[in-house]
Structure 1
Amino acid sequence: MDIDAIDRRLLAALQKEGRITNAELAERVNLSPSACHRRVQRLESEGYISGFVALLNARRLGRPTTVFVEITLSGQADELLEAFERAVTTVPDILECHLMAGSADYLLKVIAEDTEDFARIHRRHLARLPGVAQMHSSFALRTVRQTTAIPV
């Protein structure tokens, strides 16, 4: 299904303010509330909207340190990749894991309290991930831009 300009306006509004009421959203995109509700339901059922979440402030929750970890595996066999990916999903400190093309096989985004906490995460979790041959960690000094909004 193709999405039209109204669908794009709905998606853009919901990305900025996910708690907006259906009535406010309908007014913003110039639809009746019932038509707005039907469109949002369709966008959800067709996979354009994958869910609604609250975005938490990691700093306020005592996890201000972001570390990007490049992982190179010892091989590329499907079994090794699958084992690595399964293990990564069990580590709550890993916010993102991306299979990469380039110098590393995977790029992880990890949050921690501080450098000591990252050392604990490294020892207990990262160093025990299956098939890891090399690991390079880079600490973010400051976040210049962070968004979850996808251009629509």
Structure 2
Amino acid sequence: MRKGIDRLDRKILRALQDDGRLSNLQLAEHVSLSPTATAERLKRLTRDGYILGYQACLSPEKLDRGMLVYVEVKLDRTTPDVFESFAAAVRRSADVMECHMVAGGFDYLVKARVQGMETYRAFLSDVILSLPGVRETHTYPVMEEIKNTDKLPV
């Protein structure tokens, strides 16, 4: 068990992961605490960095971003300046949902959502291949999303 949070804190975190729009009163009822005690715990969990923020989950399909792709990226040089310029360029792209530097046979794994294959081709040439230091890419279009969650086990 992680130091600093107890069973009730975990119950609060699980409830908020299921429904981030719970009012303090609803949350208090859910965890069997007073609204004041619940609000204090929530403040502490936020202050201590357990809760990073709140957001709405949007439908990629309804917003014309139904195609999910993963792209392996190899850089031509693995130097600090290339890493920094690549990271800065990725942060500017609205199509990139996630980008992770990884250990192994390539340097970065990029997750992107686009409208379809034609849009992806433009994204690949205009965004990915134009990023600083890109030598090679491998793309994996997702055929079916089996599990997609941001929920952490608490």
Identify which of 8, 11, 15 aligns with 1:9.
11
Alpha-carbon displacement from aligned partner over 1:88-112 (angstroms, at most 9, x marks no partner): 0000000000110111110000111
Gaps of 5+ in 1: none
> Where in structure 2 are the equivalents of 1:1-152 lying within 5 Å?
2-152=4-154
RMSD: 0.8
Gaps of 5+ in 2: none
**TM-score w.r.t. length of structure 1:** 0.98
Q: How many residue pairs were aligned? A: 152
In structure 1, what is the Cα distance between the partners aligned to 2:12 and 2:134?
43
Q: CA deviation at 1:78?
A: 1.0
In structure 2, what is the Cα distance between the partners aligned to 1:105 and 1:122?
17
In structure 2, what is the Cα distance between the partners aligned to 1:80 and 1:123?
19
In structure 2, what is the Cα distance between the partners aligned to 1:62 and 1:87?
23
Alpha-carbon displacement from aligned partner over 1:63-115 (angstroms, at most 9, x marks no partner): 10000000011121111111100000000000000110111110000111000
Runs of 4+ in 1 over 2 A off after TM superposition: none
Q: CA deviation at 1:136?
A: 0.5
In structure 1, what is the Cα distance between the partners aligned to 2:48 and 2:76?
39
In structure 1, what is the Cα distance between the partners aligned to 2:69 and 2:76?
22
Q: Percent same amino acid among aligned pairs?
A: 38
**TM-score w.r.t. length of structure 2:** 0.96
